[in-house]
Structure 1
Amino acid sequence: MKVLIIIPAHNEAEFIKETLHSLIQQTLLPAEVIVVNDNSTDSTEAIVEDFSKQYSFIKLINRSSSNTHEPGSKIVKAFNYGLSQTSITYIDIICKFDADLIFPPNYLEAIIQAFKDQPKLGIYGGFCSIKTNSGWKLENLTGNKHVRGALKAYSKKCFKSIGGLKPEMGWDTIDELLAQYYGFTVKTNSELVVKHLKPTGTRYKTALAKKFGISLHQIRYDIGLAVLTSLKIGYKKQSLKFFIISMLNFFKAKTKKIPYLVDSKQGIFIRKLRWKGVLDKLV
Protein backbone atom coordinates (compact mmCIF):
# COMPACT_ATOMS: atom_id res chain seq x y z
CA MET A 1 0.00 0.00 0.00
CA LYS A 2 1.30 3.46 -0.92
CA VAL A 3 1.46 6.03 1.88
CA LEU A 4 1.51 9.78 1.28
CA ILE A 5 2.56 11.94 4.24
CA ILE A 6 1.97 15.68 4.30
CA ILE A 7 3.58 17.78 7.04
CA PRO A 8 2.60 21.45 7.37
CA ALA A 9 5.51 23.31 8.99
CA HIS A 10 5.74 26.87 10.24
CA ASN A 11 8.94 27.75 12.13
CA GLU A 12 9.62 24.15 13.15
CA ALA A 13 13.42 24.22 12.87
CA GLU A 14 13.76 23.09 16.47
CA PHE A 15 11.88 19.85 15.90
CA ILE A 16 11.45 18.87 12.24
CA LYS A 17 14.87 17.26 11.91
CA GLU A 18 13.88 14.65 14.50
CA THR A 19 10.51 14.11 12.82
CA LEU A 20 12.05 13.46 9.41
CA HIS A 21 14.81 11.34 10.91
CA SER A 22 12.19 9.08 12.51
CA LEU A 23 10.38 8.75 9.17
CA ILE A 24 13.46 7.73 7.18
CA GLN A 25 14.07 5.00 9.77
CA GLN A 26 10.68 3.36 9.26
CA THR A 27 10.60 -0.40 8.59
CA LEU A 28 8.30 0.40 5.64
CA LEU A 29 9.02 3.71 3.94
CA PRO A 30 6.32 6.06 2.61
CA ALA A 31 5.90 6.65 -1.12
CA GLU A 32 6.26 10.38 -0.56
CA VAL A 33 6.70 12.86 2.27
CA ILE A 34 5.70 16.42 1.42
CA VAL A 35 6.77 19.11 3.86
CA VAL A 36 4.93 22.37 3.30
CA ASN A 37 7.15 25.15 4.55
CA ASP A 38 4.40 27.60 5.43
CA ASN A 39 5.96 31.07 5.56
CA SER A 40 8.68 30.08 8.04
CA THR A 41 11.22 32.70 9.10
CA ASP A 42 13.67 30.28 10.73
CA SER A 43 15.80 27.51 9.17
CA THR A 44 12.92 25.08 8.55
CA GLU A 45 13.34 25.35 4.78
CA ALA A 46 17.08 24.66 4.86
CA ILE A 47 16.67 21.61 7.10
CA VAL A 48 13.98 20.05 4.91
CA GLU A 49 15.89 20.87 1.74
CA ASP A 50 18.89 19.01 3.11
CA PHE A 51 16.75 15.91 3.71
CA SER A 52 15.19 16.17 0.26
CA LYS A 53 18.64 16.09 -1.35
CA GLN A 54 19.47 12.87 0.48
CA TYR A 55 16.12 11.09 0.18
CA SER A 56 14.18 11.15 -3.07
CA PHE A 57 10.82 10.51 -1.39
CA ILE A 58 11.05 13.70 0.68
CA LYS A 59 9.76 16.80 -1.08
CA LEU A 60 9.95 20.45 0.03
CA ILE A 61 7.12 22.78 -0.97
CA ASN A 62 7.28 26.46 -0.04
CA ARG A 63 4.05 28.32 0.59
CA SER A 64 3.47 32.01 1.26
CA SER A 65 0.71 32.82 3.71
CA SER A 66 -0.37 35.35 6.28
CA ASN A 67 1.42 35.60 9.61
CA THR A 68 -1.97 35.95 11.26
CA HIS A 69 -2.72 33.20 13.78
CA GLU A 70 -5.60 31.14 12.42
CA PRO A 71 -6.41 28.25 14.78
CA GLY A 72 -7.26 25.18 12.74
CA SER A 73 -7.55 26.75 9.31
CA LYS A 74 -3.91 27.71 8.63
CA ILE A 75 -2.55 24.21 9.09
CA VAL A 76 -5.29 22.62 6.95
CA LYS A 77 -4.77 25.16 4.18
CA ALA A 78 -1.08 24.24 4.16
CA PHE A 79 -1.98 20.54 4.14
CA ASN A 80 -4.39 21.00 1.23
CA TYR A 81 -1.75 22.89 -0.70
CA GLY A 82 0.71 20.06 -0.14
CA LEU A 83 -1.86 17.51 -1.26
CA SER A 84 -2.27 19.37 -4.55
CA GLN A 85 1.48 19.09 -5.16
CA THR A 86 1.91 15.32 -4.83
CA SER A 87 3.61 13.46 -7.65
CA ILE A 88 2.14 10.10 -6.61
CA THR A 89 -0.47 8.93 -9.13
CA TYR A 90 -2.08 6.34 -6.83
CA ILE A 91 -2.37 6.61 -3.06
CA ASP A 92 -3.82 4.12 -0.56
CA ILE A 93 -3.28 6.03 2.69
CA ILE A 94 -3.08 9.78 3.25
CA CYS A 95 -1.40 11.02 6.43
CA LYS A 96 -1.43 14.47 7.96
CA PHE A 97 1.44 14.65 10.47
CA ASP A 98 2.72 17.52 12.58
CA ALA A 99 6.36 18.63 12.33
CA ASP A 100 7.17 18.00 15.99
CA LEU A 101 6.77 14.23 16.34
CA ILE A 102 9.12 11.27 16.78
CA PHE A 103 7.60 8.07 15.40
CA PRO A 104 8.58 4.55 16.50
CA PRO A 105 10.27 2.59 13.64
CA ASN A 106 7.24 0.33 13.06
CA TYR A 107 4.68 3.13 12.92
CA LEU A 108 3.95 3.12 9.19
CA GLU A 109 4.14 -0.65 8.99
CA ALA A 110 1.50 -0.93 11.72
CA ILE A 111 -0.74 1.62 9.99
CA ILE A 112 -0.52 -0.18 6.67
CA GLN A 113 -1.33 -3.53 8.28
CA ALA A 114 -4.34 -2.05 10.09
CA PHE A 115 -5.84 -0.71 6.86
CA LYS A 116 -5.16 -4.03 5.12
CA ASP A 117 -6.86 -6.01 7.87
CA GLN A 118 -9.89 -3.73 8.30
CA PRO A 119 -11.61 -2.74 5.02
CA LYS A 120 -13.97 -0.30 6.77
CA LEU A 121 -11.21 1.43 8.71
CA GLY A 122 -11.33 5.11 7.77
CA ILE A 123 -9.10 6.97 10.23
CA TYR A 124 -6.28 5.48 12.31
CA GLY A 125 -3.41 6.59 14.52
CA GLY A 126 -1.31 6.00 17.58
CA PHE A 127 -1.11 7.79 20.92
CA CYS A 128 0.82 10.99 21.62
CA SER A 129 3.11 11.21 24.63
CA ILE A 130 4.74 14.29 26.16
CA LYS A 131 7.92 14.65 28.19
CA THR A 132 7.55 15.42 31.89
CA ASN A 133 9.95 15.60 34.81
CA SER A 134 9.27 11.92 35.48
CA GLY A 135 9.63 10.81 31.85
CA TRP A 136 7.31 10.41 28.87
CA LYS A 137 3.59 10.05 29.54
CA LEU A 138 0.46 9.96 27.39
CA GLU A 139 -1.15 13.31 26.60
CA ASN A 140 -4.48 13.81 28.34
CA LEU A 141 -6.01 14.65 24.96
CA THR A 142 -5.35 11.12 23.72
CA GLY A 143 -8.29 8.69 23.73
CA ASN A 144 -9.40 5.33 22.41
CA LYS A 145 -11.90 6.80 19.95
CA HIS A 146 -10.17 9.97 18.82
CA VAL A 147 -7.09 10.17 16.61
CA ARG A 148 -5.09 13.27 17.48
CA GLY A 149 -4.91 15.89 14.76
CA ALA A 150 -1.13 15.65 14.98
CA LEU A 151 -1.00 12.17 13.45
CA LYS A 152 -4.04 11.39 11.30
CA ALA A 153 -4.01 8.57 8.74
CA TYR A 154 -6.93 8.19 6.31
CA SER A 155 -7.87 5.52 3.82
CA LYS A 156 -8.17 7.13 0.40
CA LYS A 157 -11.83 6.08 0.15
CA CYS A 158 -12.69 7.63 3.51
CA PHE A 159 -10.78 10.82 2.70
CA LYS A 160 -12.75 11.26 -0.51
CA SER A 161 -16.08 10.43 1.16
CA ILE A 162 -15.71 13.12 3.83
CA GLY A 163 -14.65 15.68 1.23
CA GLY A 164 -11.12 16.04 2.55
CA LEU A 165 -10.17 18.26 5.47
CA LYS A 166 -12.12 21.44 6.19
CA PRO A 167 -9.95 24.52 6.85
CA GLU A 168 -11.77 25.37 10.06
CA MET A 169 -11.22 25.02 13.80
CA GLY A 170 -12.42 21.57 14.80
CA TRP A 171 -11.41 19.93 11.52
CA ASP A 172 -9.95 16.97 13.44
CA THR A 173 -13.33 16.25 15.01
CA ILE A 174 -15.45 16.92 11.94
CA ASP A 175 -13.44 14.41 9.91
CA GLU A 176 -14.11 11.61 12.41
CA LEU A 177 -17.81 12.39 12.73
CA LEU A 178 -18.27 12.44 8.97
CA ALA A 179 -16.21 9.27 8.58
CA GLN A 180 -18.65 7.47 10.86
CA TYR A 181 -21.59 9.05 9.04
CA TYR A 182 -20.33 7.42 5.84
CA GLY A 183 -19.88 4.03 7.52
CA PHE A 184 -16.16 4.05 8.31
CA THR A 185 -14.58 3.23 11.66
CA VAL A 186 -12.17 5.41 13.63
CA LYS A 187 -9.58 3.62 15.74
CA THR A 188 -6.42 4.25 17.74
CA ASN A 189 -3.60 1.92 18.73
CA SER A 190 -2.28 2.41 22.26
CA GLU A 191 0.83 0.38 21.43
CA LEU A 192 1.92 2.94 18.85
CA VAL A 193 3.28 5.68 21.08
CA VAL A 194 4.60 8.80 19.37
CA LYS A 195 6.69 11.41 21.15
CA HIS A 196 5.10 14.86 20.85
CA LEU A 197 7.86 17.42 21.24
CA LYS A 198 5.67 20.53 21.44
CA PRO A 199 2.58 19.74 23.59
CA THR A 200 -0.73 21.08 22.31
CA GLY A 201 -1.40 22.79 25.62
CA THR A 202 1.27 25.38 24.90
CA ARG A 203 -0.81 26.67 21.99
CA TYR A 204 -4.13 27.20 23.76
CA LYS A 205 -5.04 30.87 23.86
CA THR A 206 -8.17 33.03 23.91
CA ALA A 207 -8.45 32.99 20.11
CA LEU A 208 -8.53 29.20 20.18
CA ALA A 209 -11.31 29.12 22.77
CA LYS A 210 -13.36 31.51 20.62
CA LYS A 211 -12.87 29.40 17.51
CA PHE A 212 -13.69 26.26 19.47
CA GLY A 213 -17.08 27.62 20.53
CA ILE A 214 -17.90 28.65 16.99
CA SER A 215 -16.91 25.22 15.68
CA LEU A 216 -19.38 23.52 18.05
CA HIS A 217 -22.14 25.54 16.43
CA GLN A 218 -20.85 24.77 12.94
CA ILE A 219 -21.12 21.02 13.49
CA ARG A 220 -24.67 21.51 14.77
CA TYR A 221 -24.16 20.61 18.44
CA ASP A 222 -27.10 21.36 20.70
CA ILE A 223 -26.61 23.40 23.88
CA GLY A 224 -26.18 20.32 26.10
CA LEU A 225 -23.42 18.87 23.96
CA ALA A 226 -21.73 22.26 23.66
CA VAL A 227 -21.68 22.64 27.45
CA LEU A 228 -20.34 19.13 28.07
CA THR A 229 -17.67 19.40 25.37
CA SER A 230 -16.48 22.84 26.47
CA LEU A 231 -16.37 21.67 30.08
CA LYS A 232 -14.36 18.61 29.11
CA ILE A 233 -11.71 20.58 27.23
CA GLY A 234 -11.66 23.34 29.85
CA TYR A 235 -11.10 20.72 32.56
CA LYS A 236 -8.28 19.06 30.63
CA LYS A 237 -6.66 22.44 30.09
CA GLN A 238 -7.44 23.39 33.72
CA SER A 239 -9.05 26.57 32.44
CA LEU A 240 -12.48 27.84 33.47
CA LYS A 241 -11.82 30.78 31.16
CA PHE A 242 -11.66 28.42 28.18
CA PHE A 243 -15.11 27.05 29.01
CA ILE A 244 -16.67 30.51 29.43
CA ILE A 245 -15.17 31.93 26.22
CA SER A 246 -16.12 28.83 24.27
CA MET A 247 -19.76 28.95 25.35
CA LEU A 248 -20.08 32.70 24.79
CA ASN A 249 -18.90 32.26 21.23
CA PHE A 250 -21.13 29.23 20.70
CA PHE A 251 -24.15 31.43 21.46
CA LYS A 252 -22.77 34.31 19.39
CA ALA A 253 -22.34 31.99 16.41
CA LYS A 254 -25.94 30.83 16.74
CA THR A 255 -27.22 34.40 17.02
CA LYS A 256 -25.21 35.54 13.99
CA LYS A 257 -26.24 32.38 12.09
CA ILE A 258 -22.70 31.54 11.09
CA PRO A 259 -22.89 28.91 8.30
CA TYR A 260 -22.79 25.24 9.27
CA LEU A 261 -20.07 22.88 8.08
CA VAL A 262 -22.37 19.84 7.92
CA ASP A 263 -25.86 19.44 6.49
CA SER A 264 -28.98 18.77 8.58
CA LYS A 265 -28.89 14.97 8.15
CA GLN A 266 -25.25 14.87 9.13
CA GLY A 267 -26.05 17.10 12.10
CA ILE A 268 -28.76 14.72 13.34
CA PHE A 269 -26.35 11.79 13.02
CA ILE A 270 -23.61 13.68 14.86
CA ARG A 271 -25.86 14.64 17.78
CA LYS A 272 -27.18 11.09 18.14
CA LEU A 273 -23.65 9.70 18.01
CA ARG A 274 -22.34 12.15 20.58
CA TRP A 275 -25.24 11.67 23.00
CA LYS A 276 -24.86 7.91 22.70
CA GLY A 277 -21.24 8.33 23.70
CA VAL A 278 -22.26 10.39 26.73
CA LEU A 279 -24.89 7.88 27.82
CA ASP A 280 -22.57 4.91 27.32
CA LYS A 281 -20.12 6.47 29.79
CA LEU A 282 -22.91 6.87 32.37
CA VAL A 283 -24.12 3.26 32.17
Structure 2
Amino acid sequence: MNIYIIIPAHNEEDCIALMLESLVNQTLLPKKVVVVNDHSTDNTQLIIDGFSSKNNWLESISIQSSKEHIPGSKVINAFYKGFETLDKNYDIICKFDADIILPKNYLESLVALFNTDSKVGIAGGLAYINKGNQWIYETIASKNHVRGPFKAYRKECFQDIGGLKASIGWDSMDVMLAQYYGWVVKTDKLLKVKHLKPTGKTYHKSSKYLQGEALYKMRSGLPLTILSALKSAISKRSFLYFKNTVLGYIKSKNKNIEPLVTVEQGKFIRKLRWEGVRKKIKI
Protein backbone atom coordinates (compact mmCIF):
# COMPACT_ATOMS: atom_id res chain seq x y z
CA MET A 1 0.00 0.00 0.00
CA ASN A 2 1.26 3.47 -0.88
CA ILE A 3 1.09 5.70 2.19
CA TYR A 4 1.04 9.48 1.70
CA ILE A 5 1.30 11.72 4.78
CA ILE A 6 0.58 15.44 5.21
CA ILE A 7 1.84 17.22 8.34
CA PRO A 8 0.65 20.79 9.02
CA ALA A 9 3.18 22.63 11.22
CA HIS A 10 3.19 26.04 12.88
CA ASN A 11 6.06 27.00 15.22
CA GLU A 12 6.85 23.41 16.11
CA GLU A 13 10.61 23.63 16.73
CA ASP A 14 10.21 21.92 20.12
CA CYS A 15 8.39 18.90 18.67
CA ILE A 16 8.85 18.37 14.96
CA ALA A 17 12.32 16.80 15.12
CA LEU A 18 10.94 14.12 17.42
CA MET A 19 7.98 13.57 15.10
CA LEU A 20 10.07 13.32 11.93
CA GLU A 21 12.63 11.10 13.65
CA SER A 22 9.80 8.70 14.54
CA LEU A 23 8.80 8.66 10.84
CA VAL A 24 12.34 8.04 9.61
CA ASN A 25 12.62 5.08 12.00
CA GLN A 26 9.40 3.37 10.87
CA THR A 27 9.59 -0.35 10.09
CA LEU A 28 7.59 0.51 6.96
CA LEU A 29 8.45 3.84 5.36
CA PRO A 30 5.82 6.07 3.72
CA LYS A 31 5.86 6.67 -0.02
CA LYS A 32 5.55 10.44 0.31
CA VAL A 33 5.46 12.99 3.15
CA VAL A 34 4.70 16.70 2.80
CA VAL A 35 5.26 18.99 5.77
CA VAL A 36 3.25 22.20 5.39
CA ASN A 37 5.08 24.98 7.21
CA ASP A 38 2.26 27.36 8.07
CA HIS A 39 3.70 30.79 8.85
CA SER A 40 6.30 29.54 11.34
CA THR A 41 8.57 32.21 12.85
CA ASP A 42 10.92 29.86 14.70
CA ASN A 43 13.35 27.16 13.49
CA THR A 44 10.67 24.79 12.23
CA GLN A 45 11.76 25.09 8.58
CA LEU A 46 15.44 24.53 9.37
CA ILE A 47 14.57 21.31 11.18
CA ILE A 48 12.37 20.12 8.31
CA ASP A 49 15.14 20.89 5.82
CA GLY A 50 17.56 18.78 7.82
CA PHE A 51 15.30 15.74 7.45
CA SER A 52 14.22 16.35 3.84
CA SER A 53 17.87 16.60 2.71
CA LYS A 54 18.44 13.02 3.89
CA ASN A 55 15.12 11.45 2.92
CA ASN A 56 13.93 11.79 -0.68
CA TRP A 57 10.36 10.83 0.24
CA LEU A 58 10.03 13.88 2.52
CA GLU A 59 9.49 17.43 1.28
CA SER A 60 7.97 20.68 2.54
CA ILE A 61 6.08 23.72 1.36
CA SER A 62 5.58 27.06 3.10
CA ILE A 63 2.29 28.93 3.31
CA GLN A 64 1.15 32.16 4.96
CA SER A 65 -2.17 31.86 6.76
CA SER A 66 -3.71 33.33 9.90
CA LYS A 67 -1.44 33.42 12.98
CA GLU A 68 -4.36 32.47 15.22
CA HIS A 69 -4.83 28.81 16.05
CA ILE A 70 -8.51 28.54 15.16
CA PRO A 71 -9.48 24.90 15.75
CA GLY A 72 -10.24 22.92 12.63
CA SER A 73 -10.10 25.47 9.84
CA LYS A 74 -6.41 26.44 10.14
CA VAL A 75 -5.03 22.93 10.24
CA ILE A 76 -7.34 21.54 7.53
CA ASN A 77 -6.65 24.45 5.20
CA ALA A 78 -2.93 23.72 5.66
CA PHE A 79 -3.59 20.02 5.05
CA TYR A 80 -5.18 20.80 1.69
CA LYS A 81 -2.27 23.00 0.63
CA GLY A 82 -0.14 19.90 1.05
CA PHE A 83 -2.70 17.62 -0.57
CA GLU A 84 -2.72 19.80 -3.70
CA THR A 85 0.98 19.02 -4.27
CA LEU A 86 0.47 15.24 -4.31
CA ASP A 87 -0.50 12.89 -7.11
CA LYS A 88 -3.41 10.47 -6.70
CA ASN A 89 -1.36 7.27 -6.53
CA TYR A 90 -1.96 6.71 -2.83
CA ASP A 91 -3.81 3.90 -1.13
CA ILE A 92 -3.77 5.51 2.32
CA ILE A 93 -3.77 9.25 3.01
CA CYS A 94 -2.75 10.39 6.50
CA LYS A 95 -3.16 13.67 8.31
CA PHE A 96 -0.58 13.75 11.12
CA ASP A 97 0.25 16.54 13.54
CA ALA A 98 3.78 17.81 14.14
CA ASP A 99 3.55 17.28 17.90
CA ILE A 100 3.33 13.48 18.06
CA ILE A 101 5.84 10.64 18.36
CA LEU A 102 4.85 7.47 16.54
CA PRO A 103 5.79 3.98 17.70
CA LYS A 104 8.24 2.38 15.24
CA ASN A 105 5.64 -0.03 13.87
CA TYR A 106 2.88 2.56 13.41
CA LEU A 107 2.68 2.57 9.59
CA GLU A 108 3.18 -1.18 9.35
CA SER A 109 0.36 -1.67 11.86
CA LEU A 110 -1.87 0.75 9.91
CA VAL A 111 -1.49 -1.39 6.80
CA ALA A 112 -2.35 -4.47 8.87
CA LEU A 113 -5.51 -2.75 10.14
CA PHE A 114 -6.64 -1.86 6.63
CA ASN A 115 -5.84 -5.36 5.41
CA THR A 116 -8.01 -7.04 8.07
CA ASP A 117 -11.17 -5.89 6.27
CA SER A 118 -11.69 -4.14 2.95
CA LYS A 119 -14.38 -2.00 4.63
CA VAL A 120 -11.97 -0.46 7.15
CA GLY A 121 -11.97 3.17 6.01
CA ILE A 122 -10.31 4.98 8.93
CA ALA A 123 -7.62 3.55 11.21
CA GLY A 124 -5.13 4.57 13.88
CA GLY A 125 -3.75 4.10 17.36
CA LEU A 126 -4.43 5.85 20.68
CA ALA A 127 -3.10 9.13 22.14
CA TYR A 128 -1.04 9.28 25.32
CA ILE A 129 0.10 12.43 27.14
CA ASN A 130 2.88 12.98 29.66
CA LYS A 131 1.71 13.53 33.24
CA GLY A 132 4.12 13.25 36.13
CA ASN A 133 6.75 11.62 33.87
CA GLN A 134 4.26 8.91 32.90
CA TRP A 135 2.55 8.47 29.55
CA ILE A 136 -1.16 8.09 30.25
CA TYR A 137 -4.15 7.76 27.93
CA GLU A 138 -5.59 11.14 26.85
CA THR A 139 -9.14 10.62 28.03
CA ILE A 140 -11.05 12.98 25.75
CA ALA A 141 -12.28 10.31 23.35
CA SER A 142 -13.35 6.69 23.22
CA LYS A 143 -10.64 4.11 22.60
CA ASN A 144 -12.62 3.13 19.50
CA HIS A 145 -12.18 6.61 18.02
CA VAL A 146 -9.22 7.55 15.83
CA ARG A 147 -7.94 10.94 16.95
CA GLY A 148 -7.21 13.84 14.61
CA PRO A 149 -3.44 14.10 15.29
CA PHE A 150 -2.71 10.72 13.65
CA LYS A 151 -5.54 9.85 11.31
CA ALA A 152 -5.30 7.53 8.30
CA TYR A 153 -7.91 7.05 5.56
CA ARG A 154 -8.34 4.48 2.84
CA LYS A 155 -8.46 6.39 -0.45
CA GLU A 156 -12.02 5.31 -1.33
CA CYS A 157 -13.32 6.26 2.12
CA PHE A 158 -11.62 9.66 1.94
CA GLN A 159 -13.30 10.28 -1.40
CA ASP A 160 -16.72 9.08 -0.19
CA ILE A 161 -16.82 11.45 2.79
CA GLY A 162 -15.78 14.38 0.62
CA GLY A 163 -12.44 14.78 2.36
CA LEU A 164 -11.96 16.75 5.57
CA LYS A 165 -14.14 19.66 6.65
CA ALA A 166 -12.39 22.93 7.54
CA SER A 167 -14.21 23.28 10.85
CA ILE A 168 -13.77 22.36 14.48
CA GLY A 169 -15.29 18.92 14.92
CA TRP A 170 -13.89 17.69 11.57
CA ASP A 171 -12.41 14.60 13.25
CA SER A 172 -15.81 13.54 14.55
CA MET A 173 -17.67 14.44 11.39
CA ASP A 174 -15.36 12.32 9.25
CA VAL A 175 -15.93 9.23 11.39
CA MET A 176 -19.70 9.57 11.32
CA LEU A 177 -19.77 10.25 7.58
CA ALA A 178 -17.55 7.22 7.02
CA GLN A 179 -20.10 5.09 8.87
CA TYR A 180 -22.89 6.71 6.86
CA TYR A 181 -21.21 5.39 3.71
CA GLY A 182 -20.73 1.93 5.20
CA TRP A 183 -17.09 2.17 6.22
CA VAL A 184 -15.62 0.75 9.43
CA VAL A 185 -13.44 2.72 11.87
CA LYS A 186 -10.75 0.67 13.59
CA THR A 187 -8.14 1.33 16.27
CA ASP A 188 -5.15 -0.73 17.36
CA LYS A 189 -5.11 -0.25 21.13
CA LEU A 190 -1.50 -1.43 21.32
CA LEU A 191 -0.35 1.52 19.21
CA LYS A 192 0.49 4.20 21.74
CA VAL A 193 1.13 7.57 20.10
CA LYS A 194 2.82 10.16 22.31
CA HIS A 195 0.92 13.45 22.05
CA LEU A 196 3.33 16.18 23.11
CA LYS A 197 0.80 19.01 23.33
CA PRO A 198 -2.52 18.10 25.00
CA THR A 199 -5.60 18.88 22.88
CA GLY A 200 -6.80 22.48 23.18
CA LYS A 201 -3.56 23.78 24.68
CA THR A 202 -2.94 26.27 21.85
CA TYR A 203 -6.56 27.27 21.09
CA HIS A 204 -7.25 30.98 20.90
CA LYS A 205 -9.89 32.47 23.23
CA SER A 206 -11.99 33.46 20.21
CA SER A 207 -12.72 29.76 19.63
CA LYS A 208 -14.98 29.43 22.69
CA TYR A 209 -18.21 29.23 20.65
CA LEU A 210 -16.84 26.99 17.91
CA GLN A 211 -17.69 23.66 19.54
CA GLY A 212 -21.36 24.62 19.53
CA GLU A 213 -21.02 25.81 15.95
CA ALA A 214 -19.53 22.45 14.96
CA LEU A 215 -22.43 20.57 16.55
CA TYR A 216 -24.85 22.77 14.64
CA LYS A 217 -22.97 22.20 11.38
CA MET A 218 -23.30 18.43 11.79
CA ARG A 219 -27.05 18.84 12.51
CA SER A 220 -26.81 17.38 16.02
CA GLY A 221 -29.95 19.15 17.25
CA LEU A 222 -30.25 21.09 20.52
CA PRO A 223 -30.93 18.10 22.87
CA LEU A 224 -27.80 16.25 21.73
CA THR A 225 -25.81 19.48 21.84
CA ILE A 226 -26.85 20.04 25.47
CA LEU A 227 -25.93 16.46 26.40
CA SER A 228 -22.58 16.70 24.62
CA ALA A 229 -21.78 20.06 26.21
CA LEU A 230 -22.77 18.78 29.64
CA LYS A 231 -20.56 15.70 29.35
CA SER A 232 -17.53 17.74 28.29
CA ALA A 233 -18.21 20.44 30.88
CA ILE A 234 -18.26 17.84 33.66
CA SER A 235 -15.01 16.37 32.38
CA LYS A 236 -13.43 19.83 32.18
CA ARG A 237 -15.15 20.96 35.42
CA SER A 238 -16.25 24.10 33.65
CA PHE A 239 -19.81 25.45 33.59
CA LEU A 240 -18.50 28.18 31.25
CA TYR A 241 -17.65 25.52 28.66
CA PHE A 242 -21.23 24.23 28.81
CA LYS A 243 -22.63 27.74 28.47
CA ASN A 244 -20.38 28.70 25.55
CA THR A 245 -21.06 25.48 23.65
CA VAL A 246 -24.82 25.87 23.89
CA LEU A 247 -24.55 29.57 23.04
CA GLY A 248 -22.36 28.68 20.05
CA TYR A 249 -25.06 26.34 18.77
CA ILE A 250 -27.81 28.93 19.25
CA LYS A 251 -25.76 31.71 17.65
CA SER A 252 -25.08 29.50 14.63
CA LYS A 253 -28.76 28.67 14.29
CA ASN A 254 -29.76 32.33 14.54
CA LYS A 255 -27.19 33.22 11.88
CA ASN A 256 -28.57 30.43 9.68
CA ILE A 257 -25.06 29.06 9.10
CA GLU A 258 -24.92 26.41 6.38
CA PRO A 259 -24.51 22.88 7.85
CA LEU A 260 -21.61 20.77 6.59
CA VAL A 261 -23.71 17.64 6.16
CA THR A 262 -26.90 16.92 4.22
CA VAL A 263 -30.29 16.44 5.85
CA GLU A 264 -30.02 12.67 5.41
CA GLN A 265 -26.48 12.59 6.77
CA GLY A 266 -27.61 14.68 9.74
CA LYS A 267 -30.44 12.24 10.44
CA PHE A 268 -27.94 9.36 10.41
CA ILE A 269 -25.53 11.24 12.70
CA ARG A 270 -28.28 11.97 15.24
CA LYS A 271 -29.37 8.32 15.20
CA LEU A 272 -25.78 7.19 15.67
CA ARG A 273 -25.20 9.55 18.57
CA TRP A 274 -28.47 8.70 20.31
CA GLU A 275 -27.54 5.02 20.06
CA GLY A 276 -24.28 5.90 21.78
CA VAL A 277 -26.15 7.70 24.57
CA ARG A 278 -28.48 4.73 25.07
CA LYS A 279 -25.57 2.31 25.30
CA LYS A 280 -23.88 4.41 27.96
CA ILE A 281 -26.99 4.62 30.13
CA LYS A 282 -27.99 1.04 29.18
CA ILE A 283 -31.48 1.77 27.94
What amino acid sits opposite 2:124 in the alignment? G
Q: In the alignment, what sits opposite 1:271? A: 270
Q: In the alignment, what sits opposite 1:18? A: 18
Shift of 1:146: 1.6
What amino acid sits opposite 2:67 in the alignment? N
Q: In the alignment, what sits opposite 2:185? A: 186
Separation in 2, partners of 1:14, 1:166: 28
String of CA shifts for 1:105-156, please: whole Å, max 9, x gaps.
Answer: 0100000111112110111111110111151100011422321111110000
Shift of 1:249: 1.3
> SS where residue 28 of structure 1 aligns?
coil
What amino acid sits opposite 1:177 in the alignment? M
What amino acid sits opposite 2:118 in the alignment? P
Shift of 1:231: 1.6
Q: In the alignment, what sits opposite 2:92? A: 93
Q: Does 1:137 align with 2:121?
A: no
> SS where residue 60 of structure 2 aligns?
strand
* Residue pairs, 1:1-283, within 5 angstroms: 1-86=1-86, 88-204=87-203, 206-283=205-282
Separation in 2, partners of 1:220, 1:136: 36
Aligned residues: 282
- TM-score, normalised on structure 1? 0.96
Contact preservation (8 Å) 1:4, 1:94: yes
> SS where residue 202 of structure 1 aligns?
coil
Separation in 2, partners of 1:21, 1:117: 28
Bigger shift: 43-52 or 227-236? 227-236
Contact preservation (8 Å) 1:27, 1:108: yes
What amino acid sits opposite 1:19 in the alignment? M
Contact preservation (8 Å) 2:69, 2:203: no
Contact preservation (8 Å) 2:69, 2:204: no
Separation in 2, partners of 1:223, 1:206: 23
Separation in 2, partners of 1:249, 1:46: 39
Shift of 1:65: 1.2
Unaligned runs of 5+ in 1: none
Separation in 1, partners of 2:30, 2:16: 17
Q: CA RMSD in A?
A: 1.2
Contact preservation (8 Å) 1:206, 1:242: no
Unaligned runs of 5+ in 2: none
Contact preservation (8 Å) 2:70, 2:203: no
What amino acid sits opposite 1:106 in the alignment? N
What amino acid sits opposite 1:70 in the alignment? I
Bigger shift: 97-106 or 233-242? 233-242
Contact preservation (8 Å) 2:113, 2:188: no
- TM-score, normalised on structure 2? 0.96
Shift of 1:186: 1.2
> SS where residue 129 of structure 1 aligns?
strand
Bigger shift: 235-244 or 37-46? 235-244
Contact preservation (8 Å) 1:12, 1:44: yes
Separation in 1, partners of 2:33, 2:231: 35
String of CA shifts for 1:228-266, please: whole Å, max 9, x gaps.
Answer: 111222223332211111101111111221111111001
String of CA shifts for 1:76-115, please: whole Å, max 9, x gaps.
Answer: 00001101112x4410101100001111101000001111
String of CA shifts for 1:20-47, please: whole Å, max 9, x gaps.
Answer: 0000100000001110000100010110
What amino acid sits opposite 1:83 in the alignment? F
Contact preservation (8 Å) 1:127, 1:142: no
Separation in 2, partners of 1:27, 1:161: 30
Separation in 2, partners of 1:204, 1:5: 24
Separation in 2, partners of 1:248, 1:66: 25
Q: Percent identity?
A: 47
> SS where residue 200 of structure 1 aligns?
coil
Contact preservation (8 Å) 1:52, 1:59: yes
Separation in 2, partners of 1:7, 1:234: 30
> SS where residue 154 of structure 1 aligns?
strand
